Amino acid sequence: MVLIQGKGVSKGVAAGPLYFYQRGGAEIVRTQIEDTEAELARFEEARQTAMTQLQELYEKALAEVGEESAALFEAHQMMLEDMDYVEGIQDVIGSGVNAEAAVMEVAEQFAEMLLAMDDEYMQGRAADVKDISTRVVGILSGAVAGGIDSEVPVILAADDLAPSETVQLDKSKILGFVTSGGSGNSHTAILARTMGIPAIIGVGEKLKEAYSGKDVIIDGETGEVAVEADEITSERLLKKQAKERALKELLDQLKGQPNITIDGKKVMVYCNIGSPDDLDAVLANDGGGVGLFRSEFLYLQNDTYPTEEQQFRAYKTAAERMGGKRVIIRTLDIGADKQADYFQLEKEENPAMGLRAIRICLTRPEVFKTQLRALYRASVYGKIAIMFPMITSVWEVREIKRICQAVQAELRAEEIPFDEQVELGIMIETPASVMMSDQLAKEVDFFSVGTNDLTQYTLAVDRQGNNLDRFFDAHHPAVLRMIKQAADNAHKAGIWLGICGELGADTSLTETFLAIGVDELSVSPSAVLPLRSVIRSIDTRKNSEEILANL
């Protein structure tokens, strides 16, 4: 047995074979081929596999986000059947070049040709040719780009995973995550918690590719990774897994019960999601609504801007499936660690403080308007609220509201129905927004505290930093006092305040949040019932005064 210690960032015990994440785009070596017939057959087989994959992606996209987005995969299939492209590759292979190099050579030629055209649409197709070619090369080299080429579910190992990589994974194939690097506050860790999948980060060099395929057991609470566990370890961890399952059954009995304290204070417990796929978990865990729909994941899943129609379908699905319960959709929060190449953002020295989130939306109003149109259109299908990230100033909120009004006027003129009462809220995740919360509260319908960024900016500690978790102390009194100040100002203005950062699920602080008067907690779906159980055990008359005096 090899026992590796990392940092647990998403609770739970999982057991299964270890599988190393295959990153597409590995360097391709050009080799001389003797048997060109066999190489041609290998290419053809990979091309057919790619066609099948694209068909599956088409069907998935059609069901989840609709025709317009699914059409991309159809277009990719057509390209893969394009005779000029296929014959071009066959010719290069025929001259004795290995299939991987032949595909990339022809892809480059096609991309160059398309880019040289005087037509923006055709220029845009260059990325598509590269995309399908990378897929074929990935299949040829056994590395299904970003995929998990395994029949059985696995414990996924990687050096680190970008949010855009994590969102594209087939979740049904993942029992757990283990990464060499990473931070507990990164979006990958957050995604693991949203999906309720055990995760461990920071295992360093000890995670070796040589362990690939070996049975491992991980404990997402303690951070243990046991490779080929001995009998004692295996028994201990599997016993813990059984206990967790039993506890889950017990918590299941709380479904349908209110989130109410002993002295009758009600709290809204909502869920954080990244895509409509997560709604099953929200409903299964009896979430009272969606407190944070991180809409940027729709952008990260795509290789170009998601269209209004595509977004509309995703938001409509969320609104409908939540059956009239509040669904707070946060507008695009791209930038910093969440990068999508097609935004072509300039490289920044300090991206966490750069052009991100609302700053991008206010700089590129056409991107913002497309999203707002989709949101307003979807608002008639349920109870949608819109929330804006990274606010620091009152002028930003006023400009946002002006843009919202312009979008509403457009829709009215086009006779497209929308809910006139859509609530607008802002995230409190910068110290400036806390300091200005008295004025900001007069502008909006609600506040939601993003403790991940609020901690980062208050303590000046990078939430992504590999060696900074010790300093990233969300329990720091400076953070808690910020929450209190924003809550007091919200209540003075008659609006509600929630917490949608990871701290909301920290049950060691639930009593403090209730003492502060937090009205809503938005947490990963798997945290709803444990939180409900804690809320129901609290009597706010007992300790609130003392807690507030010591803040």
Residues 182-201 that bind Mg ion (CB under 5 A): none
Q: Pattern 445-484, binding to Mg ion, x per CB under 5 A? A: -----x--x-------------------------------
Q: Pattern 390-429, binding to Mg ion, x per CB under 5 A? A: ---------------------------------------x
Return the number of the residue (21 or 293) whose C-beta is nearest ligand PEP.
293
Dihedral angle, C-alpha 415, 418, 419, 425, nearest 10 °: -130
DSSP per position, 423-472: EEEEEE-SHHHHHTHHHHTTT-SEEEE-HHHHHHHHHT--TT-TT-TTT-
Secondary structure class of 116 (helix, strand, coil): coil
Residues 404-433 that bind ligand PEP (CB under 6 A): 429
Residues 329-368 that bind ligand PEP (CB under 6 A): 333
Concerning whether 500 is annotated as a catalytic residue, the answer is yes
The alpha-helical segments, DSSP class H, found in 350-393 are 358-363, 365-378
Q: How far apart are CA 67 and CA 527, in angstroms?
A: 34
Return the number of the residue (337 or 469) whose C-beta is nearest Mg ion.
337
Return the number of the residue (137 or 427) whose C-beta is nearest ligand PEP.
427
**Residue with the two structure tokens 């019932």:** 529
9: enclosing H helix or E strand: strand 7-10
Return the number of the residue (134 or 452) whose C-beta is nearest ligand PEP.
452
Q: Which of 452, 489, 510, 524 binds ligand PEP (CB under 6 A)?
A: 452
* Chain centroid, CA 266 distance in Å: 29
Q: In what order do the strands lie in the sheet with 7-10?
A: 2-5, 224-227, 215-219, 13-20, 154-158, 174-179, 199-201, 7-10
DSSP per position, 296-314: HHHHHT-SSPPPHHHHHHH
CA distances from 463 to 70, 188, 294 (A): 35, 12, 17
* Chain centroid, CA 211 distance in Å: 28
Which residues pair with residue 16 across a beta bridge?
A: 216
Tokens of 353: 């403080």
Residue nearest to Mg ion (CB): 453
Concerning whether 475 is annotated as a catalytic residue, the answer is no
Residues 85-124 that bind ligand PEP (CB under 6 A): none
Binding of ligand PEP at residue 484 (CB under 6 A)? no
Q: Least separation, in Å, of the C-beta of 344 and Mg ion?
A: 22
Q: Least separation, in Å, of the C-beta of 498 and ligand PEP?
A: 10
Q: Least separation, in Å, of the C-beta of 452 and ligand PEP?
A: 3
Q: Least separation, in Å, of the C-beta of 326 and ligand PEP?
A: 16
Return the number of the residue (276 or 501) whose C-beta is nearest ligand PEP.
501
Binding of Mg ion at residue 100 (CB under 5 A)? no
Task: Point out which residues bind ligand PEP (CB under 6 A).
Answer: 190, 292, 294, 333, 429, 450-453, 500-501
- Which residues does the annotation mark as catalytic? 187, 500
